[in-house]
Amino acid sequence: MESVFQGLKDLNSTTNGKIITGSVAAAAIVAAYLAKPPRQFPDRLKTLSESETCINNDIYNQSKWLASWWGTKDSHLALLQKLNPVRIPYFDRIWRNVLGSGIVADPKKKFLDAGCGGGIATEALAQLGYQMVGLDVSEGSVEVARKHAEENLVQNVQYKVGSIYQIPFEDSTFEGVISSDVFEHLHDLNQAVAEIKRVLKPGGVFVFDTINRTWWSWVMTVLLPQHILAILPRDVHDWRMFITPNEMKQLLERHGFEVPEIKEEFRGMTQVFNPLTMLRKFSLAGGVSFSETRDLSASFLGWARK
Question: What is the pLDDT at residue 58?
Answer: 83
Q: Is 257 in contact with 304 (CB distance < 8 Å)?
A: yes
Type of residue numbered 302:
G
> How many whole angstroms separate alpha carbon 198 and alpha carbon 194?
6
Strands of the sheet with 110-114, listed across from one edge: 157-161, 131-136, 110-114, 174-180, 200-211, 299-305, 267-273, 288-293
Type of residue numbered 170:
E
Q: Is 289 in contact with 304 (CB distance < 8 Å)?
A: no
Question: What is the pLDDT at residue 72?
Answer: 59
| pLDDT tens, per residue, the chain with 306 residues | 333 333 333 333 333 333 344 444 555 555 555 668 899 999 999 999 999 999 988 878 877 778 777 875 555 666 778 899 999 999 999 999 999 989 998 999 999 999 999 999 999 999 999 999 999 999 999 999 999 999 999 999 999 999 999 999 999 999 999 999 999 999 999 999 999 999 999 999 999 999 999 999 998 888 877 878 777 778 889 999 999 999 999 999 999 999 999 999 999 998 775 545 444 444 444 557 889 999 999 999 999 999
> How many whole angstroms separate alpha carbon 257 and alpha carbon 211?
20
Q: String of b and e for 54-66 (b: at least 16 CB within 10 Å)?
A: ebeeebbeeeebb
Type of residue numbered 157:
V
Q: Which helix (H) or strand (E) holds 114?
A: strand 110-114
Helices 245-254, 189-199: axis angle to 10 degrees equals: 60
SS3 154: coil
Q: How far is CA 24 from CA 11, 36, 170, 217, in A?
A: 10, 19, 51, 18
Q: Is 146 in contact with 70 (CB distance < 8 Å)?
A: no
Q: Is 65 in contact with 76 (CB distance < 8 Å)?
A: yes
SS3 15: coil
Bridge partners for 299 per DSSP: 211, 269
Give CA 86 to chain center in angstroms. 11
> How many whole angstroms separate alpha carbon 192 and alpha carbon 255?
11
Short-list 122, 154, 124, 148, CA closest to 135 = 122
